[in-house]
């Protein structure tokens, strides 16, 4: 099967296929899910917040990579590393092409939820078990991926591993990215990243990523699993506000050049401009220098995360926020510069593999404002995503949730999809 085949796969006969993978009793599957899930649940969990600190290439994330290798080994799946921090565990002949790729990421945002990322990897291994238990004989290899630094929480660029793999990010630029402690990506990886790997990418015919839903659409639809239609265009912009550090007690209010004021105004402007456009704008990270209670800051850096359904809306939003910040800086006697740190274009899954999987699973189809490695790979391969219901609708927070029964439904759906893609 070629990539083109995957994109045009005829799923019309699927209903009669009484998929082998769907035989499993869901209660048993939920039990198997719980056992495997419990094996990673403590890793990187902060007892205070109940959230996860699983930054790329730090100890908890490295422990999860060991877990990945062990799970792969126990299933007889050799693991390949691509030199960009991504891991691939393979079921099938090493030399065979047209492999079907699934998986997700282990890394988390600060104090993130348990499911964002790991659910896709745990589900992938369980889907392999389901296919094997049903006696499926794949005609094409099935590969489970663990992508590196999807959240960009350590080095600032989201989907870092998949961007490097696909050539969307220059390995020289990536090598020099630094974390909050000044450690470079090259140091964390132990080497300069390899960059584009067309040799590896060319061996994949399609990618299906299973992910926890990051909203409440499935709760409203009373369905456990959905298929993604699109990912909103989105990006990250760094605002550097420069002023004059000075004494909090002795500097007259009229004499101040306080970048905190320009920053605060910009945060409010971003919120207002996003609301006016039906878009999303967030400033969730800020750095203040020197960060003293009794000193006017000399510099404030704030990171804007902006997303919209349409690219022009997003561009208009960022331009408007920049204009408001610049105008306010003029009044505050400060300076502001804006740097784009990452940008992801609109990704439309429907009409391709995603649309066909929605027909196969008879599942609702949802757009999302969240970014994923699937969005990066979609520029190179037929790509689809499955979402599993999240009863709280909350994500990037310890409150993120999914029931074992819904996770089992997700595994069953993934197994069904993978069986179709690998076995026919
Ligand atoms: C990743 O989850 C993102 O949408 O930022
Ligand atoms: Mn996330
Ligand atoms: Mn994710």
Give the model confidence (pLDDT) of 119-178 as tens digits.
999 999 999 999 999 999 999 999 999 999 999 999 999 999 999 999 999 999 999 999
Q: How far, CA to CA in Å, does 299 sit from each of 20, 239, 243, 290? A: 60, 10, 6, 8
181-185 mean pLDDT: 98
Confidence of residue 350 (pLDDT cuts 50, 70, 90): low
State residue 351's pLDDT score: 67
Choose one of 104, 115, 120, 151 to mutate for the ligand 1 pocket test, by most ligand atoms within 8 angstroms of C-beta: 151
pLDDT at 95 over 90: no
Atom of ligand 1 nearest to the CA of 370: 4
Instruction: Tell me how far the alpha carbon of residue 66 lies from the centroid of ligand 1, in angstroms.
Output: 24
27-45 per-position pLDDT tens digit:
899 999 999 999 999 999 9
Q: Tell me which DSSP letter residue 99 carries.
A: E
Residue 14 — pLDDT band, cuts 50, 70, 90? very low
Question: Is 328 strand, coil or helix?
Answer: helix
| pLDDT tens by residue, 260-274 | 999 999 999 999 999
Whose alpha carbon is nearest atom 5 of ligand 1? Answer: 371
Q: Residue with the nearest Cα to atom 3 of ligand 1?
A: 371
The percentage of the chain sitting over the pLDDT mark of 90, rounded to a whole number, equals 90
d(CA 324, CA 319): 9
Residue 424 has pLDDT above 50, yes or no: yes
Inter-residue contact 371 to 231 (CB < 8 Å): yes
Q: Does the C-beta of 151 come closer than 6 Å to ligand 1?
A: yes
- SS3 call for 96: coil
H or E element that contains 392? none
How many degrees, rounded to 5, is the angle at CA 332 between CA 326 and CA 338?
A: 30
Please answer whether residues 182 and 76 qualify as being in contact, where contact means their C-beta atoms are separated by less than 8 angstroms.
Answer: no
pTM for this model (two decimals): 0.92
How far apart are alpha carbons 160 and 166 in whole angstroms? 10
Taking the alpha carbons at both ends of the chain, their separation in whole angstroms is: 9
Pairwise CA distance, residues 307 & 230, whole Å: 13
Residue 102 has a CB neighbour count (10 Å cut-off) of 28
Indicate if ligand 1 lies below 6 Å from the C-beta of 152. Answer: no
Using the atom order of ligand 1, give the atom closest to the CA of residue 150.
1
Q: Which atom of ligand 1 is nearest to the CA of 395?
A: 2
285 pLDDT above the threshold of 90 = yes
Nearest ligand, CA 156: 1
pLDDT digits (tens, 9 = 90+) for 289-305: 999 999 999 999 999 99
**Residue 234 Cα: closest atom of ligand 1:** 4
Whether the per-residue pLDDT at 1 is higher than 70: the answer is no
Distance CA 125, CA 117 (A): 13
Q: How far apart (Å, rounded) are the C-alpha atoms in residues 268 and 5? A: 49
Give the bridge partners for 385, in sequence order: 209
The answer to whether 188 and 376 are in contact (CB under 8 A) is: no
> Can you tell me the mean pLDDT for 47-70?
98
pLDDT at 9 over 70: no
Which residues make up the environment of ion ligand 2, defined by Cβ < 5 Å? 116
């Amino acid at each position: 099967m070629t990539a083109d085949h995957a994109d045009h796969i005829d799923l019309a006969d699927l209903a009669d296929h009484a998929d082998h993978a769907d035989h499993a009793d869901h209660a048993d599957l939920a039990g198997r899910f719980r056992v495997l899930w419990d094996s990673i649940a403590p890793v990187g969990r902060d007892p205070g917040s109940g959230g996860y600190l699983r930054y790329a290439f730090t100890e908890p994330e490295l422990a999860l990579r060991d877990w990945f290798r062990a799970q792969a080994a126990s299933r007889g799946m050799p693991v390949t590393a691509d030199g960009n921090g991504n891991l691939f565990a393979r079921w099938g002949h090493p030399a065979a092409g047209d492999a079907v790729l699934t998986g997700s990421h282990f890394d988390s945002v600060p104090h993130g939820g348990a499911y964002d990322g790991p659910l896709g990897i745990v589900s992938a291994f369980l889907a392999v078990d389901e296919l094997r238990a049903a006696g499926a004989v794949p005609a094409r290899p099935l590969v489970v991926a663990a992508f590196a630094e999807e959240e960009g929480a350590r080095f600032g660029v989201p989907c870092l591993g998949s961007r490097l793999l696909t050539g969307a990010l220059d390995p020289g630029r990536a090598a020099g990215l630094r974390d909050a402690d000044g450690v470079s990506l090259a140091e964390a990886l132990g080497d300069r990243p390899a960059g584009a790997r067309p040799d590896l990418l060319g061996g994949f015919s399609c990618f299906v990523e299973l992910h926890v839903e990051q909203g409440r659409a499935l709760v409203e639809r009373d369905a456990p699993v959905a298929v993604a239609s699109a990912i909103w265009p989105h990006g990250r912009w760094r605002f550097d506000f420069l002023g004059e550090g000075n004494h909090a007690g002795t500097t007259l209010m009229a004499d101040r050049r306080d970048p905190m004021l320009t920053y605060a105004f910009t945060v409010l402007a971003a919120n207002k401009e996003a609301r006016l456009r039906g878009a999303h704008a967030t400033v969730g990270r800020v750095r203040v220098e020197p960060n003293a209670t009794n000193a006017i800051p000399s510099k404030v850096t704030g990171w804007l995360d902006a997303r919209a359904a349409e690219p022009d809306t997003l561009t208009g939003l960022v331009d408007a926020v920049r204009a408001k910040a610049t105008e306010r800086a003029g009044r505050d006697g400060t300076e502001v510069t804006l740097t784009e740190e990452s940008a992801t274009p609109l990704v439309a899954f429907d009409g391709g593999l995603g649309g066909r999987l929605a027909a196969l699973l008879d599942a609702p189809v949802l757009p999302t404002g969240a970014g994923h490695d699937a969005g990066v790979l979609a520029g190179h391969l037929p790509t689809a995503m499955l979402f599993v219901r999240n009863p709280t609708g909350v994500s990037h927070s310890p409150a993120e949730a999914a029931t074992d029964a819904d996770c089992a439904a997700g595994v069953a759906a993934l197994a069904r999809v993978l069986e179709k893609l690998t076995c026919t």
